[in-house]
Amino acid sequence: MPELPEVETSVQAIQKFKKQNIESIEIFNPNLRWRVDSQDFQKLHGKKVLNITRRAKYIMINFGEFDILIHLGMTGTLRITDKYSNLYKKHDHVELIFETEKIIFNDPRRFGSFHFISNLENHFLLNSLGPEPLSKQFDGAYLFNKIKKSKSPIKNALMNQKNVVGIGNIYANEILFDAKIRPTRKCKTLTKKENMQIVESTKKILKLAIKAGGTTLQDFYQPDGNKGYFKIDLMVYDRAGKYCLFCKKEIIARIIQAQRATFFCKKCQG
């Protein structure tokens, strides 16, 4: 699933459509996680894009009084093509057509979503989200106070979007390896210093991943068609049975937490 770095990379790639007028919106298949209402989107024809931003794992395209909210889901991608290109790919769902180019939303597994919103602040997908991990609000004191009474494993807490947004399975593994914290540690056992280290590692790993263009494993591609290259820098994720790249002595272990694969080094994350 695309996580914060992949979504941020997509947002950066479509910034060139800011201040452009959207000529029309074509909906080929409305069947996503929530059915796309084609009548609502017709209200945006001829409207100017005022801003393109990200909140958590959501892409937001603002037209003033209205917004488009996009979630890439498990396998969703955006791609940019020439306006007059008639190349249709299987699982293309929506086209946003501009003066010379268009943005196409493709989602094979249909877990993504495409929303027309007139009240962004109170939307049910956004109104209970935690702070952005790269913001000043997300610091060691915040994280310590937020999870100090929790019996949940720290990896689960990092992936809880009410605690902090944008972190999924890949980056939770990488963050905790960088912080030298075992993913199974219960939140309430973590010291203030350890929480500070987790926050520092979070910001470090996410910034590196954004700079590299995200992580390509099976499904993620940038809107220009390029792959994300952070995969070459992954230290533990999907490296079960291989020697740790840091200590070079321990084999990377793999366990299941909350139905998701967890990878860690028993020596480095003791």
Residue 103 neighbours by CB distance under 10 Å: 23
* Assigned fold of 140-264: Helicase, Ruva Protein; domain 3 (1.10.8)
Rg of the chain's alpha carbons, rounded to an integer?
20
What would the mean pLDDT of 235-245 be, rounded to a whole number? 96
2 is catalytic: yes
Q: How confident is the model at residue 75 (pLDDT cuts 50, 70, 90)?
A: confident
Residues 223 and 77: their CA atoms lie apart, in Å, by 7
In the β-sheet with 77-82, what is the strand arrangement from edge to edge? 24-27, 92-97, 101-106, 77-82
pLDDT of residue 219: 41
Tokens of residue 85, six digits:
């290109």
The one catalytic residue among 6, 8, 57, 223: 57
The one catalytic residue among 180, 185, 260, 267: 260
Instruction: Among 52-66, 118-132, 209-223, name the one with the lowest average pLDDT.
Output: 209-223
Q: How confident is the model at residue 243 (pLDDT cuts 50, 70, 90)?
A: very high
Full-prediction pTM beyond 0.85? yes
pLDDT of residue 217: 37
| Domain regions of the chain by residue span | 4-117, 140-264
153 is catalytic: no
CB 247 within 8 A of CB 180: no
Paired sense of beta strands 58-62 and 67-71, if any: antiparallel
The one catalytic residue among 2, 133, 183, 223: 2
183 is catalytic: no
260 is catalytic: yes
Fill in the DSSP letter of residue 72: -
Q: Which of 181, 167, 177, 153 is CA-nearest to residue 257?
A: 153
Q: Does the structure show a pLDDT above 60 at 89?
A: yes
CATH, domain range 4-117: 3.20.190.10
Q: Which of 159, 222, 194 is CA-nearest to residue 5?
A: 222
pLDDT in tens, 145-178: 999 999 999 999 999 999 999 999 999 999 999 9
